[in-house]
């Protein structure tokens, strides 16, 4: 069985972080986001190949994963000539498929039991099965209504406030039958949410919901990107290194924390990073590889990508810093600031 991972979006809501780093490989702690999704797919032994459907900066992603190598899954890359939308991308990537295929949005993190979703799809002999998950406000998602047997009655992408009739939304995880792909126009942009799913309902195909109430998040905005890190640090989503030691200060053995530096968990400090005497790294901070946090600097509730420098007495709070940023002495970066790669904040500046 194959899986198609839709990973071709531009990640506009995560800009400037996604200018040089496509969304599927933004780091979550010390690993690219895709790594967590591939781990989930690996749990289904039947899935032997993952097709990465790419468009935006595909080479950056190929460089990291190659042919799958030691990831334990064969990986194939399909790059659209132009962005074909979520349905166009599935058709383009799934052209040669003859058996049921798992499709995954490339920006969702979850602990769903995929094998159970596939089993339901087979049991119901469905043409399509989609995973639904309850959220407080469905406005940013695809709203889905079902009947008592879990048949999908309505699919409404990005509903207006007065159209919200249910809390269940499309979780971006599907099992599809390729025989339905001929309904997707070839080589033109087409949306799975606005075109393909409504067409299944219109034709009264067997279109089934699997409702999942466990951990699920779409990392597509800075707020959600920060939330994922918090959830992992608090073990709401269980992965290494916090699954075994939630809410602790997790420091790479190859980082250097000088005497007199203060670490308050939960936090994460990656290899090669130096935390100088008098610096404070507070709760919910993530500091990537080879960073420098200098004397008396403060980092709290912030995510700092690799090779950045936070100079003496600078304060970084509730912020995200891209790669190779330089925060000058006594500068303050806070209140939701998101700085792109190589940003320079001069001494005493406030962002």
Quick one: 80 or 218, whose CB is closer to Mg ion?
Answer: 218
Q: Structure tokens of 268?
A: 């994460």
Rounded least distance, CB 68 to ligand GDD, Å: 19
Total number of residues that touch Mg ion (CB under 5 A): 3
Q: How far apart are CA 292 and CA 43, in angstroms?
A: 37
Tell me which of 14, 17, 108, 109 binds ligand GDD, using CB under 6 A: 108
Contacting range for ligand GDD; rule: CB under 6 A; set: 99-107, 113-121, 268-276, 300-308: 99-107
CA-closest candidate to residue 348, choices 320, 326, 328, 334? 328
Work out the angle between the directed axes of helices 33-42 and 58-65 (0-180°, nearest 10). Answer: 60
220 binds Mg ion (CB under 5 A): yes
CA distances to 123, 325, 332, 334 from 346, in Å: 62, 11, 10, 15
Instruction: Indicate the burial class of 279 (C-beta count within 10 angstroms; 0-12, 13-18, 19 or more).
Output: buried
Q: Which does 27 bind (CB under 5 to 8 A by kind): Mg ion, ligand GDD, none?
A: none
Quick one: 8 or 195, whose CB is closer to Mg ion?
Answer: 8
**Rounded to the nearest 5°, which phi and psi values hold at 316?**
-125, 115
List binders of ligand GDD among 176-235 (CB under 6 A): 193, 218, 220
Quick one: 12 or 43, whose CB is closer to Mg ion?
Answer: 12
121: Cα within 13 Å, side-chain hemisphere: 19
Q: Which does 7 bind (CB under 5 to 8 A by kind): Mg ion, ligand GDD, none?
A: ligand GDD
Rounded least distance, CB 172 to Mg ion, Å: 7
Asked if 250 contacts 232 with a C-beta cutoff of 8 angstroms, the reply is no
Q: Which does 301 bind (CB under 5 to 8 A by kind): ligand GDD, Mg ion, none?
A: none
75 binds ligand GDD (CB under 6 A): no
34 binds ligand GDD (CB under 6 A): no
Tell me which of 21, 37, 105, 146 binds ligand GDD, using CB under 6 A: 105
Asked if 201 contacts 130 with a C-beta cutoff of 8 angstroms, the reply is no
Question: Could you tell me the sign of the dihedral formed by the alpha carbons of 250, 351, 291, 12, in that order?
Answer: positive
Tell me which of 27, 58, 85, 159 binds ligand GDD, using CB under 6 A: 85
Contacting residues toward ligand GDD, per CB under 6 A: 6-9, 53, 55, 80, 83-86, 89, 105-108, 141-142, 157, 169-170, 172, 193, 218, 220
Please report, as ranges, the residues that interact with Mg ion according to CB under 5 A: 107, 218, 220
């Amino acid at each position: 069985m194959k899986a198609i991972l839709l990973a071709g979006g531009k990640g506009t809501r995560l800009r400037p972080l996604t200018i040089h780093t496509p969304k599927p490989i933004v780091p979550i702690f010390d690993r690219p986001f895709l790594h967590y999704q591939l781990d989930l797919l690996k749990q289904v032994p039947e899935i032997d190949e993952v097709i990465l459907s790419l468009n935006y900066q595909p080479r950056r992603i190929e460089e990291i994963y190659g042919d799958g190598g030691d990831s334990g899954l064969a990986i194939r890359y399909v790059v659209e000539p132009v962005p074909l939308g979520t349905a166009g991308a599935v058709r383009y990537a799934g052209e040669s498929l003859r058996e049921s295929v798992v499709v995954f949005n490339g920006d969702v993190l979850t602990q769903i039991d995929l094998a159970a979703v596939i089993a339901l799809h087979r049991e119901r002999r469905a043409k399509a099965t989609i995973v639904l998950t309850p959220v407080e406000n469905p406005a940013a998602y695809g709203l889905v209504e079902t009947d008592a047997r879990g048949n999908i009655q309505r699919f409404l992408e990005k509903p207006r406030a007065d159209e919200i009739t249910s809390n269940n939304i499309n979780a971006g995880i599907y099992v599809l039958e390729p025989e339905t792909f001929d309904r997707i126009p070839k080589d033109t942009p087409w949306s799975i949410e606005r075109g393909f799913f409504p067409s299944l309902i219109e034709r009264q195909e067997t279109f089934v919901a699997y409702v999942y109430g466990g951990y699920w998040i779409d990392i597509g905005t800075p707020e959600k990107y920060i939330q994922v890190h918090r959830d992992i640090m608090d073990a709401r989503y269980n992965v290494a290194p916090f699954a075994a030691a939630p809410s602790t200060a997790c420091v790479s053995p190859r980082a250097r924390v000088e005497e007199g530096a203060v670490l308050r968990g939960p936090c994460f400090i990656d290899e090669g990073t130096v935390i100088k005497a008098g610096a404070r790294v507070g709760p919910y901070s993530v500091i990537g590889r080879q960073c420098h946090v200098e004397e008396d600097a403060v980092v709290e509730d912030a995510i700092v990508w690799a090779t950045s420098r936070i100079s003496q007495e600078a304060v970084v709070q509730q912020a995200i810093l891209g790669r190779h940023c330089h925060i000058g002495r006594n500068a303050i970066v806070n209140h939701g600031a998101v700085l792109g790669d190589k940003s320079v904040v001069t001494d005493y500046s406030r962002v």
